[in-house]
A and B are shown apart, each in its own frame.
Chain A
Amino acid sequence: MMELWCAPLPDKPPAPESLELPADLLERKRSDRHSRHTHASLAGYALLRKALQSHNAGWSLRRLRLTTWGKPYLPNGPCFSLSHSGGYVMCALGRDELGLDTELVRPRPLRLPEAIFSPAERHYVDAAADPLAAFYWLWTRKEAVAKADGRGFSSLFPDEKPGRSRVELAGNVWFLHRVRVETGYETHIASGRANEPILLRRTCLD
C-alpha cells in the first residue's frame, strides 16, 4: 500500500534548521535567494518528516541523499516523492520507487512542443471538451513517470498512446494511479504495481 500525504501550504515556510536536513541540503536551502519554490519545497520536507515519524521506524531526514540526477532518497528507508502546486504540498510514500505530481488546474497557454507531446496527445488535448483539464491530466501523468524514473525533465517523452495506465520507460514498467485529492487539482502517482491501494492522509503543517 502507498500513502499519499497532503497538507495545505503553511503561511510561513518551516525554518530549514528545524527540519534536520543533512548539511549539504541545508546549505542549498539556505543559499536560495529567490527561489519561487523554496517555501513549498521546505514544506514538502516538513510533510515528509511528518510522514516518516508516523511510522516510528527511526527514519530521519538527516540521512537524505541526492542521486546524480538530483532526486532525493533515503538510504534503507521508504521510497518517496514530493510535489507541490497552488496551495498544497503532497508526499507519496511507498515500499518501492514511485513518482508523484500534482498540479493546480489554472489557465495557461496550451503550447505543446513536439519533443514532449506526440500528435496523438496533442489531438487528445485539442479535441477535449475541456482542453485545459486534458492538458493537466496528461501532464501530471508524464511528470509522475518522469519522477519515478528519477531523471526528471530529461525523461519526459511523447507517448503515442495517451491515457494508457501502463508505461514502459528505460526498461522499467510504471503503472499510473489517479488520485482525487482536492477539487481543482490533478494528481497522479506512478508506481511499479498495478491496482496498488493508496491511503490518503490529510494533515496540517502549522
Chain B
Amino acid sequence: METLIEQLKVQIVEQLNLVDVNPAEIGTDEPLFGEGLGLDSIDGLELTVLLNQQYGIKVSNPASIREAFASVRTLAEFVQKNAPAEVAA
C-alpha cells in the first residue's frame, strides 16, 4: 500500500502538472480538493483519466468516487479494490 501511495503522489503531480508541488510534500491523509492540495473539479476530471490510463479503472459516475477523492490514502484504497488484478499487482 505504501508503494502505491507514493506512486499515486507522483502520478497526481505529473497528470495535473502541479509544477510547484513536490510529491513528497503531499500529506497522505490531507484533502485533495478544496483546502489541502487545493484541487478543483477540472483536476477531478484529470484524476478520473489517470485512474483509467494507469490502473484500468473505468469510473461509472463521479458520485461513486467522491469518497475515493478524499485523500491519497482513500484513492490508493480505491485503486487496490477496483483495479484489475494484473494492473494493481
Interface residues of A (CB under 8 A from B): 28-29, 31-38, 41, 70, 103, 111, 113-116, 139, 143, 146, 151-157
Nearest Cβ in chain A — how far from B39, in angstroms? 8
Contact of A157 with B61 at beta-carbon distance under 8 Å, contacts A113-B45, A116-B45 already known: yes
Query: Does any Cβ of A come within 8 Å of B18's Cβ?
Result: yes
Interface residue B10 (Cβ < 8 Å from any Cβ of A): no
Interface, chain B (partner A; CB < 8 A) = 18, 20-21, 25, 33-42, 44-46, 48-49, 52, 58-63, 66, 69
Q: Decide if A153 touches B44 in the complex (CB within 8 Å).
A: yes
Contact pick for A35, options B36, B44, B48, B63, CB 8 Å: B36
With A111-B45, A115-B62, A155-B62 given, name 4 new contacts (CB 8 A): A37-B40, A111-B46, A151-B63, A152-B33
Question: Is there an interface contact between B36 and A115, defined as CB atoms closer than 8 Å?
Answer: no
The distance from the CB of B23 to the nearest CB of chain A, in whole angstroms, is 11
B41, B46, B66, B69: which has the most chain A beta carbons within 10 Å?
B41
**Contact A34-B42, Cβ < 8 Å, known A116-B48, A153-B66, A154-B63:** no
Q: A113-B48, A153-B44 known; A38 and B38 CB under 8 Å?
A: yes
A37, A103, A143, A153: the one contacting B38 at CB < 8 Å is: A37
List the A residue with the shortest CB-CB distance to B51.
A113
- Which of A31, A103, A113 is in CB contact (< 8 Å) with B42? A103
